């Protein structure tokens, strides 16, 4: 299995129907159905908004510290099987506090699961602001999170993109930077390429989540290449949310040809038919990517991670060993 870092993964997006049903029963939260097939059949989306509606509804079953612990533990177990060595895990406290869950339950449950983990995965938390709730709510969330400062390493920006440009969040990112937090932001998933420029120049984002619509602006592409800005691309998510009509139409090959620092990630794997290994398999099969290219994507993921340099070197050596071990093997095995 190719060793990778997963840099774009929403923990709430790992809520599989089985755990959804278990948690609904545990917490007495009504579900429209408890039939796993019927629940999965609802995972068809016309857009980011239609996905987010189901996503926020489903996460109502997360109520207690134990629920967040169980969610993160289940992800780490699955991620281990996907070859993940390093995970920088997004979570959305506002979608829980808005439903009456104390922020403390979110932080303590998730961080305890990471601390107790025995998969060997190096993992940290990145707190995301819901952009459609606006900058004041984001600042309030950052303030509420600071008592748990040692439990997260960075901040991000997610949810509905269009109409909520990154520049709105300048002050809260400035505050986060002053606290020593790492900075990332979703941009140009459904929004225009200008949002990437704003995320870099106004927010100081160190990585761009998605960023696929950057390809519409050649001058931005040149900048991203020259500055080696990491882009956390999520191919199965882009197909599921109709950012692209089909995998064949995905811009990943063009991004690689343009020399961009691309990584491959899963976003919300329970909803988009695949974990990070499935995303690698999908692009390998669709585009016939050679092992050298897959190894390059994996190396990018470690280079773009916020892990210590020594760990990065160790994981990159594992990628080299994977590539050497693949010599002479059937590419599809
Ligand atoms: N985009 C925006 N917000 C999100 C996403 C996404 O792909 N996944 C979970 N929240
Ligand atoms: Zn995302």
pTM > 0.95: yes or no: yes
189 assigned to active site: yes
Sheet holding 122-130, edge to edge: 4-10, 84-91, 122-130, 154-158, 182-187, 207-210, 230-233, 261-264
Please report, for the chain, the start and end positions of each structural domain, with discontinuous segments joined by +: 4-324
Q: Is the CB of 266 under 6 A from ligand 1?
A: no
- Contacts of 124 by beta carbon, 8 Å cutoff, 6+ apart: 87, 88, 89, 114, 152, 153, 154, 306
* CATH no. of 4-324: 3.20.20.140
238 half-sphere exposure, CB direction, 13 A CA radius: 29
Contacts of 39 (CB under 8 A, 6+ apart): 17, 20, 21, 31, 33
Run of H or E residues at 279: helix 276-287
What is the Å distance from ligand 2's center to 319 Cα?
A: 25
Average pLDDT along the chain, 333 residues, taken 10 residues at a time: 98 98 98 95 94 96 98 98 98 97 98 98 98 98 98 98 98 98 98 98 98 98 98 98 98 98 98 97 98 98 98 98 80 44
Instruction: Determine whether 235 is exposed, middle or buried from the number of CB atoms within 10 Å of its CB (0-12, 13-18, 19+).
Output: buried
- Note the pLDDT of residue 329: 58
| Ligand 1 pocket member 237 (CB < 6 A) | yes
pLDDT value for 328: 56
Report which protein residue has its CA nearest ligand 1's atom 10: 159
pLDDT in the model for residue 327? 72
Which ligand 1 atom lies nearest to the CA of residue 92?
10
Q: Which atom of ligand 1 is nearest to the CA of 55?
A: 9
CA of 94, nearest ligand number? 1
Residue ID of nearest Cα to ligand 1 atom 7: 267
Catalytic residue (choose from 16, 189, 190, 198): 189
Separation of CA 310 and ligand 1 centre (Å)? 31
| Ligand found nearest the CA of 88 | 2
Torsion sign over Cα 32, 33, 39, 42: negative
Q: 136 with 172: CB under 8 angstroms?
A: no
CA–centroid distance, 56 to ligand 2, in Å, is 14
Nearest ligand (C-alpha, residue 58): 1
Atom number in ligand 1 closest to CA 234: 7
Q: Tokens standing for 32?
A: 């429209």
Model pLDDT for residues 29-84, shown as the tens digit of each residue: 999 999 999 999 999 999 999 999 999 999 999 999 999 999 999 999 999 999 99
Distances (CA, A) of 60 to 20, 51, 98: 9, 15, 10
Which pLDDT score is estimated for 149? 98
User: Which residue minimizes the CA distance to atom 3 of ligand 1?
Assistant: 159
Computed over every residue of the chain, the mean pLDDT equals: 97
């Amino acid at each position: 299995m190719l060793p990778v870092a997963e840099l774009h993964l929403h923990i709430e997006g790992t809520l599989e129907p089985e755990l959804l049903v278990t948690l609904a029963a545990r917490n007495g939260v009504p579900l429209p159905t408890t039939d796993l097939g019927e629940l999965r059949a609802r995972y068809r989306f016309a857009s980011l908004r239609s996905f987010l509606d189901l996503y926020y509804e489903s996460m109502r079953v997360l109520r207690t510290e134990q629920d967040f612990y169980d969610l993160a533990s289940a992800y780490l177990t699955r991620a281990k099987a996907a070859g993940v060595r390093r995970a920088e895990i997004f979570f959305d406290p506002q979608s829980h506090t808005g439903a009456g869950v104390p922020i403390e339950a979110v932080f303590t449950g998730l961080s305890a699961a990471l601390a107790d983990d025995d998969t060997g995965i190096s993992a940290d938390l990145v707190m995301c602001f819901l952009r459609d709730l606006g900058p004041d709510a984001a600042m309030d969330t950052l303030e509420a999170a600071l008592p748990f400062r040692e439990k997260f390493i960075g901040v991000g920006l997610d949810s509905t993109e269009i109409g909520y440009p990154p520049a709105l969040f300048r002050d809260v990112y400035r505050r986060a930077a002053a606290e020593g937090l790492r900075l990332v932001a979703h941009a140009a998933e459904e929004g225009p390429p200008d949002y990437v420029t704003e995320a870099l120049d106004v927010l100081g984002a160190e990585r761009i989540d998605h960023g696929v619509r950057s390809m519409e602006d050649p001058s931005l592409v040149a900048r991203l290449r020259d500055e080696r800005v990491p882009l956390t691309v999520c191919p199965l998510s882009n197909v599921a949310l109709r950012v692209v009509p089909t995998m064949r139409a995905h811009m990943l090959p063009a991004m690689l040809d343009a020399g961009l620092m691309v990584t491959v990630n899963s976003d919300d794997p329970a909803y988009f038919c695949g974990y990070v290994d499935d995303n690698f398999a999908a692009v390998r099969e669709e585009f016939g990517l050679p092992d050298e290219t897959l190894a390059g994507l994996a190396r990018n993921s470690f280079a773009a991670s916020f892990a210590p340099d020594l760990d990065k070197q160790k994981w990159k050596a594992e990628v080299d060993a994977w590539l050497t071990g693949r010599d002479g093997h059937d590419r599809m095995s």
